[in-house]
DNA sequence: TCAGACGGTATCCTTTTTGATACTATGTGC
DNA sequence: GCACATAGTATCAAAAAGGATACCGTCTGA
C-alpha cells in the first residue's frame, strides 16, 4: 500500500507545497482529477480518456485519491458491474491547483519536445 | 540523468496537468522552488531551509530544475566555493502554480505543530 | 594538527513506483 | 461455445526514485 512521501509536514515554511504535491503527485492523479472536474465518470470512461494508463495503475491511483478524500467511489450492485467516480467537496477544492497546473502546462510545455535551457 | 516521466504530452486534454506535474513533482522541487521564489540562495542556505534533504538529493533536484530551465546556477570561482541559485524567467512563471499548491496545502493539510507560515 | 565550512561526487543499497500479463465473475450477443 | 464488456485482483519483474555514507580540495580558526 503506497504511502505519502512524507509522514509529517511540520518541517518548515514552504512545506504545504510539498504536502500538496505528495497528495496529487502520482503519475496519473493530475489527469484523473482534471477529468473528474468535468463530471462523474465510470471506471472505463476514465481509462479511455487517460490514454496510456493500465487498469492496475488506474485502480491504484483512484484508490489513493479515494483514501485521501478527493474522490467518491459509488458501486452499483449490477451485472455487469457499474462503478462511478466523482469528486468530493475536498476534491473540488483542488480545482484552482489543477487549473493552475493546466494553465502553466498549456503555456509552457511544448509538445514537440523542444526545451530552452540557455536561459 | 533522470528523465521526465512522459516523453510526449500530446496524449489528450488534461495532459498539460501531467506535464507540469512531471516537471515539478520531484520530492523536493516544490519546496526548493518556493524558497527560491523568495530570492537567490546559496547551496547550503537551501539545504538548511529544506530540512531533511540530503546533499545528494538537493544537488540532484537542483540539477534537474536547472536542466528544465527553472533555475540558474551561478558559480563564483572562489575558495571556499560559492554557488548561487536563482529562478529564471521560466522559473518565476511557476509562481502561480507554487502559490496555488501552497494555498491549498495551508488550508487543507493538517500539519501537526505547524505555526505561522508567512506568505 | 584537527575540525569545520563550502559545494559538491561516487558508490552502494533499499524502497517505491510502474508495467506486463494473466486471471476472476457475470451477463449479452453471435 | 466463444468473444466481449463490466471492474477489478494477483503475481512477477523492471525501472525509477530516494537514502546513507564516504570521499574530494581548499581555506579559516582553534
Cβ of residue A40 lies below 7 Å from strand D:
no
Number of domain units in chain A? 1
Cα distance between residue A65 and residue A38, in whole Å: 16
Residues B52-63: tens digit of each pLDDT: 999 999 999 999
For residue A117, is pLDDT > 90? no
A5 domain residue, yes or no: no
> Residue A12: is it exposed, middle or buried by C-beta count within 10 angstroms (0-12/13-18/19+)?
middle
Tally Cβ neighbours within 10 Å of residue B28. 22
Are the CB atoms for B104 and A93 separated by under 8 Å? yes
Query: Cell for A33?
Result: 482529477
CATH of residue A73: 1.10.10.10
82-111 on A, CB < 7 Å from strand D:
82-83
A84 domain residue, yes or no: yes
CB within 8 A of A97, min separation 6: which ones?
A20, A24, B97, B100, B101, B104
Cα distance between residue A91 and residue A75, in whole Å: 19
A111 domain residue, yes or no: no
Owning domain of residue A45: 17-102
Q: Can you give the pLDDT at residue B87?
A: 98
A36 domain residue, yes or no: yes
Are the CB atoms for A61 and A32 separated by under 8 Å? yes
Query: Cell for A18?
Result: 510539498
Nucleotides of C under 7 A from a protein CB: 4-11, 16-22, 25-27
B112 domain residue, yes or no: no
For residue A13, is pLDDT > 60? yes
Please name the member of A21, A33, A117 whose beta carbon is closest to the beta carbon of B67.
Answer: A117
Closest C-alpha to B21, from A11, A34, A62:
A34
For residue B73, is pLDDT > 90? yes
Residues A25-51: tens digit of each pLDDT: 999 999 999 999 999 999 999 999 998
B31:A49 CB<8 A: no
Residues paired with residue A76 on neighbouring β-strands, in sequence order: A82
Q: Please give the angle made by the CA atoms of B16, B22 and A107, to the nearest 5 degrees.
A: 35
Q: Can you give the pLDDT at residue B115?
A: 34
Amino acid at each position: 500500500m503506497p504511502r505519502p512521501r512524507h509522514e509529517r509536514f511540520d518541517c518548515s515554511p514552504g512545506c504545504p507545497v510539498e504536502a500538496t504535491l505528495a497528495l496529487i503527485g502520482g503519475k496519473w492523479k493530475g489527469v484523473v482529477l482534471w477529468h473528474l472536474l468535468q463530471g462523474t465518470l465510470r471506471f472505463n470512461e476514465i481509462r479511455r480518456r487517460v490514454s496510456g494508463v493500465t487498469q492496475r495503475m488506474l485502480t491504484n491511483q483512484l484508490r489513493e485519491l479515494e483514501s485521501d478524500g478527493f474522490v467518491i467511489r459509488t458501486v452499483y450492485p449490477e451485472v455487469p458491474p457499474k462503478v462511478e467516480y466523482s469528486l468530493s467537496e475536498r476534491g473540488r477544492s483542488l480545482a484552482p491547483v489543477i487549473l493552475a497546473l493546466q494553465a502553466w502546462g498549456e503555456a509552457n510545455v511544448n509538445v514537440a519536445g523542444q526545451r530552452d535551457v540557455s536561459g
